Structure 1
Amino acid sequence: MASTTSDAARPYTVYTERNIDMIEQFRELPEAMQFEIKVVASVMPFRVNEYVVNELIDWNDIPNDPVFRLMFPQKEMLKADDFDRMAKLHAAQASREDIKKAAHDIQLSMNPHPAGQLAMNAPMVDGKPVQGMQHKYRETALYFPSQGQTCHSYCTFCFRWAQFIGDSDLKMAATEASTMHAYLKEHKEVTDLLFTGGDPLVMKTKLVKEYLEPLLQPEFDHIKNIRIGSKTLTFWPYRFTKDDDAEELLALFKKMVDGGKHLAFMAHFDHYAELKTDVCKEAVKRIRATGVNIRAQAPLTRHINDNPDVWVKNWQTQLTMGIIPYYFFVARDTGAKHYFEIPLFKAYEIYQAAITQMSGLGRTVRGPSMSAGPGKVEITGITEVNGEKVFVLRFLQGRNPDWCYRPFFAKYDEEATWLDDLKPAFGEDKFFFEDEYKAMCKARGV
């Protein structure tokens, strides 16, 4: 693949923990900061490319630049004891094997698969899980092609970080398109397919075609909507402008739309800085010209976007470019959650302060939303009922569709950062869905 800073082609260059010293700007950081980043990068996946380094990060504002924090691991992303353990190994120039073993112990303690991704979401056929698929909600199936189990760069908060650490037991991936097609043929209740990863658009277009083009056949008429989950518009927008198969990819998008499918590009913009380059703007125009809708989502993360003004500018910029603001997530309970998490009451305050500054076109954003074990739970308000201060909640999606849009209440708690931290309000001993959800977990051996 090739990219440009002007019109001259340049190679697509990736930096990982092994060659991080090749980044010129990294070498100019204080030595102590370089060491800390290397220590954490030996535990949390690290990958960044030349476009992000040179075009998106403001190296005059380190360490506060939001894209820098999004890309480069920080000391505080590991708990103090874990950092000290790894730092001693690095300082002693321990073997790579010893460093990897210690890192693996820490990784297993960081909830690598939140919300029952492996045990609860894997569809079953003849009593066996279907590899590389998730089917958590009735209408929507997720597919993880093995060739797409990486990204052009890795976000430090990524809730799928366990896909990238080289442990096959933690991966969700299928090696053949036929797996997806066979499952979808048998499940006519599925109307939406989410093609995800990693990032499936790291694949060459000829591979993407093998998965998507067959869905135009009559036996897949029940698949109305195809979503492509990708952060390529941030990390490598040249995928749609300069790559050698860029035109082929756009032609595939148009073919799917012309064939009657609603193709939605599920973009991910954590900060408006990701939208600033000319190549990103051009890529958005090219995608939209094929008839594809672009929807944008991101989690609220401390140190990166925990300010309503950032979200207002983020959403307003998206609208100007023809992108639909979609989801405002609560950072998931995995990885370096302690570094990124924000109390739920504060998340709601930030969301409310931002959304009330938007016009109607920008009020399509749903949130704050937690993708928890039982489903997607939205905080719709904080209020008082009969003198008790409460969170007002509802399911946007649920393992049982009947749970959706049914309001329920939790005690107000300024320490709570996730659904599991909340307790029922009004003296009730459990939420309305708990018994059924526990039965679902038991049935799956969880």
Structure 2
Amino acid sequence: MGTRRFTAYSAKHLDELLKRARLDEEERLKVRAVATVLPFRTNAYVVDELIDWSAAPDDPIYRLVFPQADMLPTTDVARLTGMLRDDAPKAELLAEANRIRQTLNPHPAGQMELNVPRIGREPVPGMQHKYPETVLFFPKQGQTCHAYCTYCFRWAQFVGDADLKFASDDIDQLVAYLRVHPEVTSVLLTGGDPMIMGEPVLKRYIEPLLEIEQIESIRIGTKSLAYWPQRFVSDPDADDTLRLFERVVAAGKNLAFMAHFSHTRELEPELVATAAERIIGAGAVIRTQAPLIRTINDAPGVWSDMWRRQLTLGMIPYYMFVERDTGPQDYFAVPLADAYQIFREAYSSVSGLCRTVRGPSMSATPGKVCVDGIADIAGQRVFVLHFIQARDPELVGKPFFAQYDPKAAWLTDLKPAFADWFPFEGAPRKTRLSA
């Protein structure tokens, strides 16, 4: 397992793989219909080592990477299924898929409009600057992953539509931006998955950041430890990659390896432990995060087991996220009230060393909003919330309240309590009466 070459599976392999889940022809056709809209990619390690095919299609890792027939509205799936059955022209199928994609909020939280930084009047492509101290950079060569998660909020990056892509290969432009923004102390390389890049390419993006004195930390957002731990153990450039990590630390920067683990099973292979040991040995800090996903990890025991296993491997539990308002959110979302109860029960059953984790947190347009609890105040049941991060730093850490709604699954589903507006909205302007 450790020395096997990376083998990717794409939509052209989907029908054959689905037979292993014992789906009949009509069920496979519906899944293929969904895959014309939402991206599909996995690899031999995930297929052969992580999925329990005897439990598919209900196996959580199977559901993590394989599209489900009911992830899209029934009418859309029926239309696409009919087109596939009738062998419709590719152009017509693509046009219908693109129409459906536009109904799925492909870029949540104003990613294409609100977060784009500028040098002077010129926008800087492939970057986001949502919080004062942090810039996100999307390397062009990192705009894919070892496998795609079915819940991924960045699914639009992977469907081949240039209008939905968000990336850059101009590291000089990033450096120029950082030099005129001394408030930025942290750079997050994200994607896709930056660890899909080989060491020579990854080095081109990281090494220039080591010369910028104000930068205190470099973060790498990645699912590679779960989907291809060989990247740090047996891949041809594994040792070179770890030496690059060592150079980051030697330059006085904190290297934060932001590892995405969605289920305990992803942590079970011994290869993951070996990879984690090597990454930590190179001086990086591994912090773990994932969204709460219905049918995959929506049980307290899954999270408490994950956090404990991560702790034993030297990782730091960091975030439980709420599924974002994009793509198949209606399929995967867990109501906020349930999310809080799952988090609270899992949190209460682990030691203090695991309680570094924060959540459940919504990465919404105004910032990261954490659900702190459900309380009865002045005769009213409310959600107690606070900003972990905010576009407006003045909002960070200040509690605010929303009316309790057992069905609410996102910030925009909530209404303010004890006020006419939320703190991030500001007082509405009074309209003048006409004379």
TM above 0.5, yes or no, is: yes
Q: Is the aligned partner of 1:261 residue 2:253?
A: yes
Cα distance, 1:24–1:302 mapped onto 2, change above 3 Å: closer
* Aligned equivalent of 1:281, options 273, 278, 298: 273
Structure 2: how far apart are the matches of 1:119 and 1:15? 33
Pick closer, same or farther for the CA change 1:15–1:204 going to 2, 3 Å: same
Alignment match, 1:443 = none
Contact 2:21–2:53 (8 Å) recurs in 1: no
Partner of 2:432: none
The sequence identity of aligned pairs, in percent, is 51
**RMSD, aligned α-carbons:** 1.5
Give the alignment partner of residue 375 of structure 1, picking from 349, 367, 388. 367
1:342, CA displacement in angstroms? 1.1
In the TM superposition, what is the alpha-carbon distance from 1:19 to its structure 2 partner? Answer: 2.7
Once the two structures are TM-superposed, the CA of residue 32 in structure 1 deviates from its matched residue by 3.1
Structure 1 unaligned residues grouped into runs of 5+: 440-446
Q: 1:334 corresponds to which residue?
A: 326
Residues of 1 paired with 2:290 and 2:6: CA distance?
26
How much does 1:435 deviate? 2.7
User: Following superposition of structure 1 onto structure 2, how do residues 215-294 of structure 1 map, counting pairs within 5 Å?
Assistant: 215-217=209-211, 220-294=212-286
Residue 70 (structure 1) aligned to one of 64, 68, 83: 64
Q: Any idea what the Cα deviations from partners look like across 1:180-215, whole Å, max 9, x if unmatched?
A: 111112211001110111001111101111111122
CA deviations on 1:75-129 (whole Å, 9 max, x unpaired) are 1111111111111111111122211111010001100000101100011222232
Q: How many Å separate the matches in 2 of 1:95 and 1:11?
A: 35
Aligned residues, how many?
Answer: 429
CA–CA distance in structure 2, aligned partners of residues 265 and 277 of structure 1: 19
Question: Are the counterparts in 2 of residues 20 and 26 from structure 1 also a CA contact under 8 Å?
Answer: no
Quote the offset at 1:26 in angstroms.
Answer: 3.7
Deviations for 1:36-84, whole angstroms, at most 9, x for unmatched residues? 2211111100000111000100000011111100100001111111111
Aligned 8 A contact 1:136 1:399 in 2: yes
Do structure 1's residue 190 and structure 2's residue 184 form an aligned pair? yes
- Alignment correspondent of 1:343: 335
Residue of structure 2 equivalent to 1:353? 345
2:422 counterpart (431, 440, 446):
431
Which residue of 88, 92, 100 corresponds with 2:94?
A: 100
Higher mean Cα deviation, 239-248 or 28-37? 28-37
CA distance in 2, matches of 1:210, 1:65: 39
Equivalences for 1:107-122 in 2 at 5 Å?
Answer: 107-122=101-116
Amino acid at match of 1:326: Y
**Partners in 1 of 2:34 and 2:270 — Cα distance?**
33
For residues 279 and 271 of structure 2, what CA distance do their matches in structure 1 show? 12
Aligned partners of 2:294 and 2:333 also within 8 Å: yes
- The letter for the 1-side match of 2:384 is V
Q: Is the 8 A contact 2:319 2:361 kept in 1?
A: yes
The match for 2:28 is 34
Deviations 1:260-299 (A, max 9, x none): 0100000000100111112111111110101110000000
**Segment drifting more, 123-132 vs 324-333:** 123-132
- Deviation, structure 1 residue 256: 0.6
Q: Distance in 2 between matches of 1:243 and 1:252?
A: 15
- Scaled by the length of structure 2, what TM-score is found? 0.96
**What SS does the corresponding residue of 2:70 show, helix, strand or coil?**
helix
Structure 2 counterpart of 1:431, one-letter code: F
What CA deviation, in whole Å up to 9, does each residue of 1:306-335 have, x standing for no partner? 100111111111111111000010000000
Match of 1:45 in 2: 39
Write the distance in 1 (CA, Å) between the matches of 2:199 and 2:172: 17
- The 3-state SS of whatever aligns with 2:398 is coil
Residues of 2 paired with 1:15 and 1:322: CA distance? Answer: 31
Partner Cα separation in structure 2 for residue 262 and residue 49 of structure 1: 31
CA distance in 1: counterparts of 2:332 and 2:38, whole angstroms:
14
SS of structure 2 residue aligned to 1:10: coil
Between 1:191-200 and 1:89-98, the stretch displaced more is 89-98
SS at match of 2:426: helix
C-alpha displacement of 1:27: 7.6
CA–CA distance in structure 2, aligned partners of residues 211 and 232 of structure 1: 18
1:141 alignment partner AA: V
- TM-score, normalised by the number of residues in structure 1: 0.94
User: In structure 2, how many angstroms separate the alpha carbons of the residues matched to 1:306 and 1:147?
Assistant: 33
Q: Secondary structure at the match of 2:338?
A: helix
Task: State the AA in 1 paired with 2:397.
Answer: Y
| SS of aligned partner of 1:197 | coil
**Residue range with higher mean Cα deviation, 113-122 or 89-98:** 89-98
Aligned-partner Cα distance in 2 for 1:24–1:343 = 30
Is the 1:21–1:27 contact (alpha carbons within 8 Å) kept by the matching residues of 2?
Answer: no
Alpha carbons 2:321, 2:361 under 8 Å: kept: yes
Q: What amino acid sits opposite 1:398 in the alignment?
A: A
2:21 touches 2:54 (CA, 8 Å); kept in 1? no
Out of 21-30 and 157-166, give the one that drifted further: 21-30
Q: In the aligned structure 2, how far is the partner of 1:391 from the partner of 1:21?
A: 44
Deviation readout 1:326-377 (Å, 9 max, x if unpaired):
0010000000001001111110010001100010001111011000000000
Shift of 1:22: 5.1
Match for 2:267: what amino acid?
A: L
Give the CA deviation at 1:30.
2.9
Mapped partners of 1:29, 1:285: distance in 2: 39
**Paired residue for 1:146?**
140
Question: Residue in 2 aligned with 1:295?
Answer: 287
Extract unaligned runs of 5+ from structure 2: 430-435
Structure 2 CA distance for aligned equivalents of residues 361 and 32 of structure 1: 49
